[in-house]
Structure 1
Amino acid sequence: MSEINAECLKKDFGKRIKALRTARKLSQAELAELVGVEALAISRIENGDHFVKAETLEALKNAFNISYTELFDFDSKEQEDGRIKTLIAHCKDMDDKAFEYFLLCIKAYKKTHRA
Structure 2
Amino acid sequence: MSTIDEFPFMEDIKVNFGKRVKQLRVSNGYSQEKLAEISDLDRTYIPSIEAGRRNFSLEIINKLPKAFEIEMHQLFE
TM-score bracket, normalised by the shorter chain, equals 0.7 to 0.9
1:36: how far off? 1.0
Residue in structure 2 matched with residue 17 of structure 1 by the alignment: 21
4+ long deviations beyond 4 Å? none
* Identical-residue share of aligned pairs (%): 35
Number of aligned residues: 72
User: Among residues 47, 68, 73, which one is paired with 1:69 in the alignment?
Assistant: 73
Query: Could you state the TM-score of these two structures normalised by the residue count of structure 2?
Result: 0.87
What pairs with 1:1-115 in structure 2 (closer than 5 Å)?
3-73=7-77
> Which of the two has greater helix per residue?
1
What is the CA RMSD across the aligned residues, in angstroms? 1.1
Q: Which has the higher contact order (CA 8 A, sep 6+)?
A: 2
Task: State the secondary structure of the residue aligned to 1:11.
Answer: helix
Task: State the secondary structure of the residue aligned to 1:58.
Answer: helix
Bigger Cα Rg: 1
Query: Deviations for 1:26-69, whole angstroms, at most 9, x for unmatched residues?
Result: 00000001111112100000000013211111110101111221
Query: Could you state the TM-score of these two structures normalised by the residue count of structure 1?
Result: 0.59
Is there any run of 5+ residues in structure 2 with no aligned partner, and where? Answer: 1-5
